[in-house]
Amino acid sequence: DAGVIQSPRHEVTEMGQEVTLRCKPISGHDYLFWYRQTMMRGLELLIYFNNNVPIDDSGMPEDRFSAKMPNASFSTLKIQPSEPRDSAVYFCASRRGQGRDEKLFFGSGTQLSVL
């Protein structure tokens, strides 16, 4: 398996522009997570899905952020409009089921810079 695939790897945009980050989870995984990582705040959970349904979006910072999972193999995180404080590394992660052997698999992340 290719692992969790994120695109783009790097994104540079100007304040006010719309940004869309993409994620393909590992096939067969039914949980998908979006995280944000900054030097100041570390790794923060933004939202997670189970079987394509959003379960907890309490970590989404504000209404400018939205996430969708239209099918089991694809998810997007959108920021509209983007602001400089959104600059961070955004990670997508997935896992299979729930139980004793839970393991999160992370993608390589998207480095977002909002100028």
Q: What torsion, rounded to 10 degrees, do the Cα atoms 108, 70, 104, 64 define?
A: 70
Cα–Cα dist 115/21, whole Å? 17
* Cβ closest to other proteins, residue 5 vs residue 72: 5
* Cβ closest to other proteins, residue 81 vs residue 96: 96
Q: How far apart are the first and last CA of the chain?
A: 36
For residue 62, give every residue at least 6 positions away whose Cβ sits within 8 Å of its Cβ, in sequence order, or none. Answer: none
Q: Tell me whether strands 42-50 and 105-106 are parallel, antiparallel or unpaired.
A: unpaired
> Which of 5, 7, 12, 32 lies closest to 95 in space, CA to CA?
32
**Min separation Cβ 44 and other proteins, Å:** 8
Q: Which residues sit at the interface with other proteins, rule CB under 8 A?
A: 4, 31, 33, 42-45, 48, 55-56, 91, 93, 95, 98-100, 102-109
**Min separation Cβ 19 and other proteins, Å:** 19
**Min separation Cβ 105 and other proteins, Å:** 7
**Min separation Cβ 88 and other proteins, Å:** 13
* Cβ closest to other proteins, residue 72 vs residue 81: 72
* Cβ closest to other proteins, residue 19 vs residue 23: 23
